Every structure is written in structure tokens, then in C-alpha cells.
Chains A and B, each alone.
Chain A
Amino acid sequence: MPINITMPALSPTMEEGTLAKWLVKEGDTVKSGMIIAEIETDKATMEVEAVDEGKVGKLVVPAGTEGVKVNAVIAVLLEEGESAGDVKALAAAPAKAEPAAAPKAATSVPAPSPTLVTPAKAGAQTSVAVMERPGGVRIMASPLARRIAANKGIDLKALKGSGPHGRIIRRDVENAKPGAAQPAPGGAPMTADGLILPQILDDRVYAPDTYDLKPLDGMRKTVAKRLTQSFMQVPHFPLNIDIQLDNLLESRAAINAAAPKDVKISVNDLLIKAAALALIDEPDCNASYTDKGIAYHRHANISVAVAVEGGLITPVIFKAEGKGLAEISEEMKDLANRARERKLKPQEYMGGTFSISNLGMFGVRSFASIINPPEGMILSVGAGEKRAVVDEAGAIVARTVMSVTLTCDHRVIGGAEGAKWLAAFKRYVETPEAMLL
């Protein structure tokens, strides 16, 4: 029996991916563990390993195919003694992604519809004349629009009709992507899950020859979706504080002077450590708002925002509170490098409890990041710069100061908790020796 190779789910959020590249061709022999393909998911480019042994009978999904649903058959492997003829039986099975989504639209139909057709022949399809919105409002859509929507797995609720009296007609569904909505005049277009869609590209606004269009890849889409969701759904507030860096810089110089040659601790490494310790000191702040309750995390898993070409990714330093600076430094370098190559594994960029985003190296003085859900807080780190400071004695002195902004999810973190965390963080940064305790 030939073996189906299916689209693997490479992360819990992955619903579909792009089959970027085949590393084998039909007729190749593969062994278990061999890398056979590269898949671009919503976050990264991943390698797919063969689980079974055999000969590649057929590559069902060609390289470069976008939107391949998880579990769709992407290739067929022949076992010993099998021929290409055996492939046919299997390949006839589900290869394309769309039928899987088809039943979606039908699930919102109330009760068995009296207008369902019972065809004598299997050829005829059913049609549903009336679909109800949850509120009981009838969705006006042409029968053909309904059929096409069902075929493509498009939720009519998400569409706005351009026909007479706002009726949804063929053209409204024909261009819509499954789960997406059609641009509509007036009113912000919304997706089925209530997210506002990106701006519609309109020739009347930007003439077609005045820009270069780069298609959205998986990462760009995910970043856009998650940040939109976060910014709109998380009640967030910022807290600012100035922190003097002179002690930290001195300590860093001393540490690096004493460290083995290949170890070089960055300011950022120190800030990761300080943030982790502050989270352990203020456990109320190491929290996530979830549907089941507030999750108070036992460890400080620090996500660090890394800009990569085409987006942004946040690899995680797990249990940073217990790690030494050298360890943090080394891990960070490795994660950042692999992030830029889009080679991170999902478990390396998921599971953070707190994020740090640092734009200090660009000279940014102060900014407020968008929360990285389900984390409760994100720290935005500005540039360390010489500023005039009034010291304890009342004298104006030059000190290296950085401004940081803590953006908090108000559902889990109050102003006072956030402030206490900032105070703790400030203490660690201004008195780095405390990190040794």
C-alpha cells in the first residue's frame, strides 16, 4: 500500500502553509529522517523529514503552492515492490485543500432546511435558500453566490453584498478568499472572526504603475493578524520610567574583561536577566489573561523581538531567571541568527511570558510596543544616552540614561503592579550586583 505524506502541522496555530521547495523528486529513494521538503508556515521556513522509507511515487502538490491545508496529501511514497500505478488510487483522494473547508458555510444553516434538494442523481447539489444570521437576520445572497461560497468555504456572514439592496452576488464571493471578506463601500470590512481587514488596494488611490507589490507571505500575514488582534482587543496602557545605566555599563565592561574570549555580554543580555528577575520578584506581573483564568507563570520566559526580513519574530529565552549571563548571551546569538534565516522551530518562538523590544541601537528615545499575546507585558527599551540629571546632592551631572516603556494588559496587570515591576527592574539595572544574589 503506498504511503501518503501529508502536510504536517508544524505549530499549533498552523492551518495551512506554503510548500516552498521539494528536496526530492519523483523516483528518489528516501530514508526515514531524510529532509524531503521545505515548508513556509505562518512563522518560519521549516524542513519536513520523511518518517517512512520508500520511493517517491508522486509529488502531489507542486513546489510553490500556497495555502496547502494541514493534513492534505502532498506526496505519495511507494513501498518496495509497488509501482507508479499504485499511486493513482491514493492520489485521487484528497489532495486539494478546499473541500475540507466547504462544510463551514453550511454549519450556520438552521435546522434541516426545507429547501434542500433530494436529487435522484448524485450530480445535483443542494441549495439553501435562506440563511440566518445568529441574530435571526436573513442574509440576502443569490443562490449562485451561496453555492460558490459553499464550494470555496466562504462564510457569507463575512461578506458585504454589492448587488441590489446589498444582496451578495456572484462577484462578491468569487474574489473572496476562504474566511475573508470582500471590500464593501462604507463600513470597515470585517473578517469572520471580527478582525478588520487590511486596506484594499484600489487603483483609484494608487495608480498601478506607481508601486511594487510584494505578496504577503505567511509571516507577514501572521504578524499583521496577531498585532491587529492584540492592539484592538487587549486593553493596554503604557508606563514610562527613566533608568540610569552607568552602573550597568561599568559592570558589563568588568564582566566582559573577565570573561573568556568568546563570551561578550551585551546590554540587552543584562536587560533580559534583569527583566526575568523582576518578574520573579513581582509574580503578579508574570501573567496571561486566558479564557479559563489568569495564568501566573512560574518561570520568566523572555521573548526577545528580532527584526527579520519580511517581518518580526520573538524567540524565547526560557527560564531566564535561572540562567547565567554567558548562557543567555550565547542562546540569544544563536536564536537571533536562526531567526534571520527563518530556521526557528515553533517551540523556540512560542511560550514566552514577557517580551522585550529594544530599538536603542537605532537611537530611538522612547516608544511603546504592542503586547505580544498571550503575554501580559512588553518592555520597550530606548537608547542609552548622556543626559543632564539632578543627583541626590542637587547637582546637575551627566549620566547615561535610558527611557523604557512597559505596555501592560490591563485585564491582568493594574497600574500599581506594573509600576512595582518597573521599580524592581530599575533596581536591577541601576544596581546590577543585585542580579548576583
Chain B
Amino acid sequence: MSTPYDLIVIGSGPGGYVAAIRASQLGMKTAIVERESLGGICLNWGCIPTKALLRSAEVLHLAKQAKSFGLKIENPSFDLEAVVKRSRGVASQLSNGVTFLMKKNKIDVIEGTARLEKGAPAPKVIVKGKDGKDTPYTAKHVMLATGARARDIPQAGLVADGKLVWTYREAMTPDVMPKRLLVVGSGAIGIEFASFYNELGADVTVVEVMDRILPVEDAEISAFAEKDFRKQGLNILTGAKVENVKAGKNVVTADITTKDGKKETKEFDRAILAVGIVGNVENLGLEALGVKIEKTHVIVDGFGRTGVPGLYAIGDLTGPPWLAHKASHEGVTCVEGIAGKNHAEPFDASNIPGCTYSHPQVASVGLTEAAAKAKGYDIKVGRFPFIGNGKAIALGAENGLVKTIFDKKTGELLGAHMIGAEVTELIQGYVIARQGELTEADLLHTVFAHPTLSETMHEAVLDAEGRALHI
């Protein structure tokens, strides 16, 4: 039996490894268990490698537009293998970075698959190593950060086979460039892959069961995005159902029922299932410990406490939004709660930005217009299109929109919604405004540098007051 730890974190994704670093900073003797690669899905199979892919697509897009910039690039094209290789290289570089961070913070990395057994003051952690041997570890606190994986819907015939029917994992390491691609689901993951493959020349069909794409975004942004994607050649079917995705020898067939009720069997080269995710709650021994689980997600309070003494859970495992930065923040919150930091604040889910790195990008924070109205707010809405922004025009990125929603009574920025170039970087300005509880008055008085895309953020605030300058 090894020496007891203060904290063992199970899973080294952006939730787990960040929590481990924070714990180490607070003087806890910390270990982290990982069954695969440090950095988890985010670094290895999610956020980061897809951004690398999308960057390749973006550069290609610009190269194709070279003429409009007065440049000459003959027949810009791509090497799929090299594009994927670059993406894997970026992922591996970052995973190595996490290895370094663990070392620097004196965090023990335990390789293997963990499960829990009853114990006090916290459950015992048994790690099955690569050699198949079980090693027990004990700690005062145990944090589950096991994340989530792509969801299958077998009853609708939506099951990935890893060959022709892909999840995000295969989709970012394609063996061939599919000519005809079906993307089921139009959340961030679906839309990003759709955008990537469309840029690379695939004939992409996105099917969304809801009445609009990016359904968690503001309806206006969804509509803007749909119009833009269609213009880029994406086939988008909203209010449509996909069933029986069947992998044949070389092709995939799928039954698609469109909005008007017409059912058709269509053929594709590949299909990507992006119909949500499920929490990795299995084989951990959670049932025996009496951990509360609802729809594959562990139920926790604002400090990640599961109700089982000494056991915590954070990140994708605890439910939406399934975002790396949500997991990291939850991890930090949980550790600070354990350490009893004076100013430990419980996790607040109301101010988490959401980003989709498609072309154009989509970013948002806070309430949509519909949600604000449903909550009974009396609102002021401001809008500003990128076409009114000098920098956007200079960049050749005049297609975009910023929308702000304020509470008329208090001036609170209830929500901000953006589509266009680099909005995933811009959104942070609004997130800080919300965190700092700024009102419209403070934003009106903030000086925005010229020429920048961020001026659209200022204008969207001015517009809520009927004072937009450049439109």
C-alpha cells in the first residue's frame, strides 16, 4: 500500500489536470490517473486537434480567395495526410506539455484504469495498470474527471462503427477524403466537422432534428449561420430525422425524413455522428458507492461534491455544457472547496462562453433573446454587422454579426451572441463584462481600439441604446 495522497484525480483532461495543478499549488499531495494520454479528449481528440484541422481549412480558404487580396496562388490544394499529421503533432506537443506540468507541480501520474471501492475518509482507488495488475491507492479526497464520449442512439440506428460511420475521433484522423459526407447533429462538433470537410471539397449534408442549426445559440445567429453555410455549399436539413445509418462495404446509407415528412434513403461515403455525448460513468464502481447518477451524469453540488464522503466529480461527467473550460473551472472550484479557501466560490454555470470554430466562427455567453424573454426580462437588444467595421472589411471578413441583450431595468448584459471572424477570441470581452457585473453604461464608456473587430462589440452596445455610430 502506497502512501496516502491528499487528492487523487481520475482522468487527466482539461478538468482533471488543471484541478491537479491547483491542488498542488495549495500544498496537497496529488496524483492523477490516466488510462490513455495526458490531456484527455480535449488535447488529444477534441478541442485542440480540431482547431489545427480547421486552421488548415482556413488557410486553404484564404488561399482560394487569394485573387481578391491581389495575390496569385495557383490551384491551392491540400494533402490530407499532412493536414492530419500536423493536427496530431499539435496534440502530441500539448500532451507532452501536460507531462511537463505534472512534473513541475510534483503530481504523480498513475497510468492505468481506475475503479473505486468503499473506503474512508474517501473511496479507495484501485488502478489496473497496463500489465493488468491492480494497485490500490488511498487519498483523503478523490475527484472523478473521467469525461464523456460520443453518444450512440442504437434504437434509431445511429451507431458508429469506426470505419465508415465515424465519431469525432475517426473524423479527425480520416483515412480518405470522403466525397459525400453525412453529418448527423448540428451542435458545435457537427458544425465544425461539416465546415472543415466542406472547405476541403466534400459534399456535406448536415441533418438536424431541431428546427435550426446550432440550436443552443440565439435564433438569429443560427439563421445567420445557416444562410452563410448554405452559401458555402453545405446542404442543411433542419427539422429532419436520420435513421438506420448502415455501413456497407464502401458506402453508408441512411434514411432521412425531411421536415415535410418525406422519407428517403441516401448514400454517403462517410457519416459523422455528432448527436451528443454520454458521461463515462461505467466500470468505476460508482453504483456500489451509492453515487447519484442521472442520464449518465453524476449529480454534484456547486463544489463538485457527490454526496459520498470524500468523492467529487467535475467536467463533462457532471453534465452540460460539455466544454473544456467549464471542466477546468469546475476542477479549480472543487479543489478550492476541498482546501477550504476563504473565497472559494461555488461553480456558476451562467457565465460560460460557448464557441464554435467553424467558418464563420460562432461565440456566445449568457441568455439568448428568447431565453431572456422567457425569464421575464424587459430587454434592450443591440445589433451590429461586421460590414460596418473597417477592420473586418480590410480582413475580407465582412460577414458577421454581434448581438447584445441587456436588462432594461438594471443595464445588466444578459447575453451576447456573435458570428464572424475571430469572434471566439472577442467573446471574452463580454464574459469579463458579465463576470465584473458591468452595465451598459460601463461598456458605452469603454474605449475600443481602432481599427479592430472588437469595435463591433462596442457598436452592438451602442445600438442597444439606439446610438450605433457606423451604421
Q: Which residues of A contact B439 (CB under 8 A)?
A: 125, 127, 143-144, 147
A120: Cβ under 8 A from any B Cβ: yes
Q: Does A81 count as interface, using CB distance less than 8 angstroms?
A: no
Q: B161 interface residue, CB < 8 Å from A?
A: no
Q: How far is the CB of A428 from chain B (nearest CB, A)?
A: 63
Tell me the B410-428 residues at the A interface (CB within 8 Å).
Answer: 410-412
In the bound complex, do residue A121 and residue B411 qualify as a contact, i.e. CB atoms below 8 Å apart?
no
Q: How far is the CA of A128 from the CA of B436 in the complex (A)?
A: 15
Within residues 39 to 64 of chain A, which ones have a CB less than 8 A from any CB in chain B?
A: none
Which residues does chain A contribute within 8 Å of B444, judged by CB atoms? 117, 124
Q: How distant is B342 from chain A, measured CB to nearest CB, in Å?
A: 9
In the bound complex, residues from chain B placing their C-beta under 8 Å from that of A151 are: 409-410
A117 to B436, CA, bound (A): 19
Band of interface residues on A: 20 to 34
- Is B438's CB within 8 Å of the partner chain A? yes
Give A134-153 as 1s and 0s: 1 = Cβ < 8 Å from B's Cβ atoms.
00000000111101100100
Is A394 at the interface (CB under 8 A from chain B)?
Answer: no
Question: Which residues of chain A are near B410, meaning CB under 8 Å?
Answer: 144, 147-148, 151
Separation of A145 and B436 alpha carbons in the complex (Å): 10
* Minimum C-beta distance from A147 to chain B (A): 5
Chain B residue at minimal CB-CB distance from A142: B437
Instruction: Judge whether B440 is part of the interface by a CB distance below 8 angstroms.
Output: yes
- List CB contacts (< 8 Å) of A355-388 with chain B: none
Determine if A126 and B438 form an interchain contact, defined as CB atoms under 8 angstroms apart: no
Interface-central residue, A115, A119, A164, by most chain B CB under 10 Å: A119
Do A121 and B466 have beta carbons less than 8 Å apart?
yes
In whole angstroms, what is the CA distance A148 to B437 when docked?
11
B408 at the interface (CB under 8 A from A): yes
Q: Does A169 lie at the interface of the complex (its beta carbon under 8 Å from any beta carbon of B)?
A: yes
- Rounded to whole angstroms, the CA-CA distance of A266 and B78 in the bound complex is 108
Query: Does residue A273 face the partner (Cβ distance < 8 Å to B)?
Result: no
> Which chain A residue has the least Cβ–Cβ distance from B441?
A127
In angstroms, Cα B437 to Cα A124, docked, is 17
- Cβ A115 vs Cβ B437 within 8 A: no
A147 contacts B411, CB within 8 Å? Answer: yes
A142 CB to closest chain B CB (Å) equals 3
Which listed residue, B411, B445, B466, B467, touches A144 by the CB 8 Å rule?
B411
Residues of B within 8 A of A123 (CB): 380, 408, 465-466
Q: Check B36 for interface membership: any CB of A closer than 8 A.
A: no
Give the distance to chain A from B385, nearest Cβ to Cβ, in Å.
Answer: 20
Query: Are B411 and A125 in contact (CB-based, < 8 A)?
Result: yes
What chain B residues lie within 8 Å of A148 (beta carbons)? 410
Most buried by B among A129, A144, A148: A144
Contacts of A125 in B (CB 8 A): 411, 439, 441
Closest Cβ neighbor of B410 among chain A residues: A147
B343 is an interface residue with CB less than 8 A from chain A: yes
Q: Which of B412, B441, B467 sits near A121, CB closer than 8 Å?
A: B467
Chain A residue with minimal CB distance to B408? Answer: A123
For the complex of A and B, the 10 pairs showing the least CB-CB separation, nearest first, are A142-B437, A127-B441, A144-B437, A143-B439, A121-B466, A117-B441, A147-B410, A124-B465, A143-B442, A120-B467
Query: Which B residues form the contact surface with A (CB < 8 A)?
Result: 343, 380, 408-412, 436-442, 444-445, 465-467
19 more contacts with CB within 8 A, not counting A119-B467, A125-B439, are: A115-B445, A117-B441, A121-B465, A121-B466, A121-B467, A124-B465, A126-B441, A127-B411, A142-B436, A142-B437, A142-B438, A143-B439, A144-B412, A145-B437, A147-B410, A147-B411, A147-B412, A148-B410, A151-B410
